Amino acid sequence: MLEHYPKEIVIKDGTPVLIRPATKEDEQALNEFFARIPQDERWFLRDDLADPVDLRRWIEQLDYNKVMPLVAVNQQDGAIIAEVRLHRRLARCLRHVAHLRIGVDPAYRNQRLGTWMLIDVIKLAMDLGLDKLLAEFVQEAEEAAIHAARRLDFFEHAIIRDYCKDVKGNYHDLLIMVKTLHSDWCDF
């Protein structure tokens, strides 16, 4: 499952990046990464990994059978600049589905890094034998991620109106997108 890692890529601005599974040794670099995500975006995270206490708890309980976290590391300075997590369910009725979460450092957006990370997690999900990937996005707050998911054949599955509140108390719709996976790359 992890034999394809680490992977080296180069993003649009020429920065060399290494994609690899996150480890417990990444705690400090992840703290720094989440601190660079703007507060109004962190507000919508399901897990407040910007809180060092929550991050420590999460990283100490790291179990690749439940959550497969991948990080993108800038090879020039060692900083984590993106992360994606594949959340798997152990219940037999849901073992074929995984949820994903993705975050990209604002300084590295519009470099196709998020797309690289999505492609990588799709391949990983295929290798794990999963049938579907599910992603949830807050409309108006995560438009770039929604656009990237659509380009990779995630389809709108449902919209829950006025589901999320932002830091100012304004309501936003939650968009649920699903990608059906195949055993090979025939769907691209």
d(CA 10, CA 16): 5
Residue 187 lies in a domain: no
pTM: 0.88
3-class DSSP assignment, residue 166: coil
Q: What is the pLDDT of residues 160-187, one digit of tens each?
A: 999 999 888 999 999 999 999 986 665 5
8 A C-beta contact, residue 123 and residue 19: no
Residue 147 lies in a domain: yes
4: which 2 tokens? Answer: 């394809």
Crossing angle of the two packed helices 27-36 and 52-60, in degrees rounded to 10 = 140
Here the CATH number for the domain that contains residue 143 is: 3.40.630.30
For the cut 90, the answer to whether the pLDDT of residue 95 exceeds it is: no
The structural domain count of the chain equals 1
Region 40-53 average pLDDT:
77
Residue 23 lies in a domain: yes
Closest to 63 in 3D by CA, of 31, 87, 81? 87
- Residue 174 carries which side chain, given as an amino acid letter? L
Please give the C-alpha separations between residue 76 and each of 18, 22, 102, 107, in angstroms, as whole numbers.
10, 18, 22, 15
Q: What is the pLDDT of residues 29-42, one digit of tens each?
A: 999 999 998 887 77
Closest to 82 in 3D by CA, of 94, 95, 72? 72
pLDDT range class, residue 25, cuts 50, 70, 90? very high
Residue 186 lies in a domain: no
Domain around 151: 7-181
Residue 2 lies in a domain: no
Residue 165 lies in a domain: yes
8 A C-beta contact, residue 87 and residue 130: no
Closest to 19 in 3D by CA, of 10, 7, 1, 35? 7
DSSP string for residues in 79-135:
-EEEEEEEEEP-SGGGTTEEEEEEEE-GGGTTSSHHHHHHHHHHHHHHHTT-SEEEE
Residue 174 lies in a domain: yes
Residue 170 lies in a domain: yes
For the cut 90, the answer to whether the pLDDT of residue 12 exceeds it is: yes
